[in-house]
Structure 1
């Protein structure tokens, strides 16, 4: 998982490849929300176990939302 997370971050930082960036954002979002849910469902309600995945999910959402317009995929009907 660690290698795929690093590759996802690299994909987001490199110029171009808009579709790859969207998939990287989606993958990181699913991994972090899954980690958060896993901690909760396994009974780990400690702040140390929940704060990391929670804030990483927030940062992923903010990074995706505030990305520059030239990095957004625009669908034309």
Structure 2
């Protein structure tokens, strides 16, 4: 029961964070567009990242499809580690790493504590 509570708290916070950031990315909100260009990426990358974040949340929240969930978690892991390392490479202050670091931790906690019916069956 404890693991299920940890899973759902982490997953709901992760989903909220990914939908919120994905939405402003898809909408190319000016502060977000400025931020991504500051890191050296083109603005069109916001649409790609934002759409995949939102689809990843759908994949994680729907029942069944454990392989799809693994791909979504992997995508979140790659996006968040990429964001963290982009900020480090750009010399940004630690405070700029914290949102991506929080989403990375939530990704790992959600993945680790996911129920058996959301895992790929091992043969």
Return the TM-score normalized by structure 2: 0.59
Note if 1:12 corresponds to 2:60: yes
Runs of 4+ in 1 over 4 A off after TM superposition: none
Give 3-state SS (helix, strand or coil) of 1:75's partner. Answer: coil
Q: Distance in 2 between matches of 1:24 and 1:46?
A: 26
Q: How far off is 1:70 after superposition?
A: 1.1
The one of 88, 97, 107 equivalent to 1:40 is 88
Q: Corresponding residue for 1:58?
A: 105
Tell me which structure has the larger Cα radius of gyration. 2
Say which structure, 1 or 2, has more relative contact order (CA 8 Å, 6+ apart). Answer: 2
Q: Corresponding residue for 1:2?
A: 50
Q: How much is the aligned-residue C-alpha RMSD, in angstroms?
A: 0.8
Equivalent pairs, count: 75
Q: Distance in 2 between matches of 1:16 and 1:74?
A: 12
Q: Corresponding residue for 1:31?
A: 79
Q: Distance in 2 between matches of 1:17 and 1:70?
A: 9
Q: How far off is 1:45 after superposition?
A: 2.0
